Amino acid sequence: MKNLDTGIFPTWCPGCGDFAIFSSIKNAIGMMDYPAESYFFTYGIGCHGHMCNFLDVYGFETLHGRPLPVAEGAKLANRDLNVIAVSGDGDSYGEGISHFMHIMRRNIDLTLIVHNNRVYGLTTGQVTPTSQKGFRSKSTPDGTIEQPMNPISTAILGGATFVARGFAGDPAHLSSLIVEGVKHKGFALIDVFQPCVTFNHINTYQWYREKVYKLEGNNTSDRMEALRISMEQDKLPIGIFFREEAKTYEEQVATQVSLSSEPVKTDIKDLIESFR
């Protein structure tokens, strides 16, 4: 396998969970047989998105909240690509939540990895949709009044065909989830507990270590069971909650060609004649 490092030294804070997610992604790519050029990564804007400079595969650093639609367009136009969207909790559950909700209905074959650090890292630590109630930040000095959203439950109810959660403190486990997610035919969500050592002093490595446990033996084909497990609060399960075989969007669209290889010039004589 090709060297996956650009050689640019990662600019994350020492100890940031993003390092582990980065290495888990590289490991996962190494564990699969796809050639390096088959991968296409899109990135959101945030600390997570800086990965675009470190991972040496085809990539597209998009706008804040928009790694999904760019990934969807790319996948629909060239379905031979292994498309992976790297995003943040602010990015995909805040600014870009509409895209998150709709890709689940579509089941486009791509993988979304959310660096869920429960803060806006890059803009210096404001609350996000997944911050705990009461979370104090510069934009909520008295603590946030809003309830956090639960991305795993949302995805299970939203129709996602692969729903998993990893923890940056367990990169080997996370790598295996990424492999499963990329191999899954259809939309895969991998939400990752990612400690932000600089701005989130509540959800720390220590805090997660005390709470997380690995799912084992759960019935991943039962949506209701998955939903129930996803709502657990005291202990936080990681692993695969739900997985289902279903037709992908691409398999069902009328046009069944890989568009990028198509010749450009199109004869439209018939079309024009139909207007006479």
Partner 1 sequence: MASIVQWKIGGEAGFGIMTAGAIFSKACSRGGLHVFGYSEYPSLIRGGHNSFQAAVSEEKVGCQVTPVNVLVALNRETVDLHKGELSREAAVIFDPDKTSVDKMPGFKLVPVPFARIATETAGLELMSNNVALGASVAVLDYDIGLLLDVIRDQFKGKGEDVIRKNTESANAGYEYVKKNFPGKFKYKIQRAKSPAKILMTGNEAIGAGAIAAGCKFYSGYPMTPTSGLLHFMASQERKYGLIVKHAEDEISAINMAIGAAHTGARSMTATSGGGFCLMVEGLGLAGMTETPLVIAMGQRAGPSTGLPTWTEQSDLKFVLNASHGEFPRIVLAPGDVEELFYSTVKAFNLAEKYQTPVIIMYDKHIAESHCTVDSIESVEIEEGLKVGENTPGYKRYQFTKTGVSPRAFPGQKGNFFIANSDEHDEKGHSTESAELRKAMVEKRMRKLEHAEIDSCRLHGPKKAPITLIGWGSTKGAIKQAMERLASKGVKANFLQMTCISPFPEKMVSAILKGKRPKLIVENNYSGQLAFVICEHTGIQVSHKLLKFDGRPFYPEEIELEAKKVARK
Ligand X SMILES: Cc1ncc(C[n+]2csc(CCOP(=O)(O)OP(=O)(O)O)c2C)c(N)n1
Residues at the site binding ligand X, with contacts judged by CB under 6 A: 44-48, 64, 88-91, 115, 117, 119-123, 128
Site for ligand SF4 in 104-143 (CB under 6 A): 117, 121
Q: Is 3 among the residues that bind partner 1 (CB under 8 A)?
A: no
Give residues with Cβ within 8 angstroms of 193, minimum separation 6.
Answer: 17, 116, 165, 166, 167, 168, 169, 203, 208, 212, 236, 238
* φ and ψ of 132, to 5 deg: -65, 150
Tokens of 33: 């047989």
Q: Is 12 among the residues that bind ligand SF4 (CB under 6 A)?
A: yes
Give residues with Cβ within 8 angstroms of 69, minimum separation 6.
Answer: 99
Q: Is 191 among the residues that bind ligand SF4 (CB under 6 A)?
A: no
Cα 260–Cα 55–Cα 178 angle in degrees, nearest 5? 80
Q: Is 123 among the residues that bind partner 1 (CB under 8 A)?
A: no
Choose, by CB under 6 A, the member of 31, 97, 149, 197 that binds ligand SF4: 197
The answer to whether 195 touches 121, Cβ cutoff 8 Å, is no
Give residues with Cβ within 8 angstroms of 192, minimum separation 6.
Answer: 17, 21, 113, 114, 115, 116, 165, 166, 167, 168, 174
The option from ligand SF4, Mg ion, partner 1, none interacting with 123 (CB < 5 to 8 A, set by class) reads none
The pattern of x and - marking residues 41 through 80 that bind partner 1 according to CB under 8 A reads: -x--x----x-xx--xxxxxxxx--x-xxxxxxxxxxx-x
Tell me which residue has tokens 């699969």: 32
Tokens of 140: 């909520």
The option from ligand X, Mg ion, ligand SF4, none interacting with 91 (CB < 5 to 8 A, set by class) reads ligand X
Identify which of residues 157 and 197 has a Cβ nearer to ligand SF4 in the complex.
197
Choose, by CB under 6 A, the member of 20, 21, 45, 47 that binds ligand SF4: 47
Site for partner 1 in 19-48 (CB under 8 A): 35-38, 40, 42, 45
State the nearest-atom distance from the C-beta of 23 to partner 1, in Å: 19
**How many helices (H) and strands (E) would you count in the chain?**
10, 8
State the nearest-atom distance from the C-beta of 130 to partner 1, in Å: 21
Q: Hey, how many other C-beta atoms are within 10 angstroms of the C-beta on 36?
A: 13
d(CA 95, CA 101): 12
Residues found near partner 1 in the complex (CB under 8 A): 6, 8, 35-38, 40, 42, 45, 50, 52-53, 56-63, 66, 68-78, 80-81, 98-99, 101-102, 253-255, 257, 259-260, 262-266, 268, 271-272, 275-276
